[in-house]
Amino acid sequence: MNKKNKKAKRMYNIAVIPGDGIGQEVVKAAVTILDKLPIDFNYTYAKAGDECKEETGVPLPDETIELAKNSDAVLFGAAGETAADVIVRLRRELNTFVNLRPVKSLQPDKYGNIDFMIVRENTEDLYIGDEEETPEGAIARKKITKFASERIAKYAFKYAEDTGRKKVTAVHKANVLKLSDGLFKKSFYKIAEQYPDIESNDFYVDATAMYLITNPLDFEVIVTTNLYGDILSDEGAGLVGGLGMIPSANIGDDNGLFEPVHGSAPDIAGQGIANPAATILSACMMLDYLGESQYARKVEEILIDVIQEGSHVTPDLGGDSSTQEMAEYIASKL
């Protein structure tokens, strides 16, 4: 996941976009931990989201986009009702064609050691937002191309190869969407031929939704389209403790954008009880991207220890600590 030709340099320009609601709280928590590392981070904060739209009239200002493009990495919090105009557009502006969403057990659960990666195509599908009203209602167009499908499949197999995983599973609905999802499936198996040592298989998305519940340990790497990846990663979050436990990385040839999977959670915003784990893990993925993997693993190990210890965690994890208290306790162990 390292940035192309990136070597650890110990000083990085980071664009920080806290966004809305709990995004501001969990980003502060992650920065608290990053600041304990022997790395020089130069943070530049920028606005985006619902509050930004109220203040400026636009949810994602041009200056925020330019800052993101010219930074070594972007750490993002959450967007509310303007999410489609903020994070979806930001991924597109940065040309981050892959969205990585790891689903990993951080605390004991009934399934055992769940650990798989969802590799989600980030530029196409229904999320291109090509919609129009019609006299009967509305139409949304689904875009799937050979180029993007092969590119994401190749990324998934290379990721499996680099991380020692033995199987890649494509998820689609080619039995119904014969042209679009059919192309995605065909592209997947074309790339699979280049990786004979890695097992390849495929499932329909509805079957996958069941298999994730009945046998999640069967999965190692899932590669899928934009919409399916979004939905299945939320289901995966339910397997390992909720949305507060799932980070994500948006990776392109020149840019990296890192964000928790959860939204702005306006119902608990400002209460200081949001689980910061997903954002801390997103910061770990950012460290990996920057070539600082030794520190990513250290932070991840301490976070897991703290969660399993259970004495300094947020209420959703069974504790009574605030978001910032949990972050400061983790930082103290660094």
At 194, the amino acid letter reads: Q
**Active-site residue set:** 127, 173, 206, 230, 234
Please name the residues in contact with 97: beta carbons below 8 A apart, sequence gap of 6 or more: 121, 122, 123, 148, 151, 152, 155, 251, 252
The answer to whether the CB of 47 falls within 8 A of the CB of 65 is: no
| Planar angle of CA 78, 316, 282, nearest 5 degrees | 40
CA pair distance 151, 158, nearest whole angstrom: 11
* DSSP code string of 261-278: SS---TTTTTSS----HH
Residue matched to tokens 């994602």: 60
Strands 256-260 and 73-78: parallel
The answer to whether the CB of 91 falls within 8 A of the CB of 257 is: yes
DSSP conformation class of 306: H
Residue matched to tokens 């069974």: 318
At 183, the amino acid letter reads: L
The answer to whether the CB of 94 falls within 8 A of the CB of 255 is: yes
Nearest to 239 by CA among 98, 120, 106: 106
Report the length, in residues, of the chain. 334
